[in-house]
Amino acid sequence: MSISTYDASIPTFIHTLTSLKAILQKGAAHAESKKIDPAVLVGSRLFPDMFPLSRQVQIATDAAKGAAARLTGVEPPKFEDKESTFPELIARVERTIDYLNGFKPEQFADAATRTVTITTPRGSFAFTGLIFLRHWALPNFFFHVTTTYNLLRHNGVELGKGDYLGQVS
């Protein structure tokens, strides 16, 4: 059995972003119920040199929308990276899900063999679409979603594996 690049990416991103949205909603509810300034959670870090929770969400959403765009040869939408509240972060996740829902399987017809080039401060990297998805896009996406989960869990938000995995159908 083979799986298409579309099936390995779009439904996976949407499913996990839906879980991320619910995790952020739990973070907001926790802050409210415990009378914690939500900005404390949104700005939380596990170590001083890491990005705060807000940036983790921004990078996760960028990873998902960027992967879909690169795999189909289109330009991803630019988000401003100004989110500093739970409602703004949740809205960003929703915008990303809406964007991903616009993709159709046929747009991914040559995605596995398409050349994808990523430029980072560490340099430029060229991949085939399949290698990009498996070894760059998905791991990067899950790293930042997991870090968001860990930041909220570390700060007392009652989260468990079921929150991270979401509704499995």
Q: Say if residue 1's pLDDT is above 80.
A: no
- The percent of residues in the chain predicted with pLDDT above 70, rounded, is 99
What values do phi and psi take at 44, rounded to 5? -70, 150
**In angstroms, rounded to a whole number, what is the distance separating the alpha carbons of residues 155 and 144?**
17
* pLDDT tens by residue, 67-123: 999 999 999 999 999 999 999 999 999 999 999 999 999 999 999 999 999 998 999
Q: Say if residue 169's pLDDT is above 80.
A: no
What values do phi and psi take at 115, rounded to 5? -80, 125
Q: Are 114 and 127 contacting, i.e. CB atoms less than 8 angstroms apart?
A: no
What values do phi and psi take at 145, rounded to 5? -65, -45
* pLDDT tens by residue, 14-40: 999 999 999 999 999 999 999 999 999
Sorted by where each starts, the structural domains of the chain and their CATH numbers stand as: 5-165 (1.20.120.450)
| Phi-psi group of 73: left, alpha or beta (phi > 0 → left; psi -120 to 50 → alpha; rest → beta) | left
Q: Say if residue 135's pLDDT is above 80.
A: yes
**In angstroms, rounded to a whole number, what is the distance separating the alpha carbons of residues 105 and 55?**
30
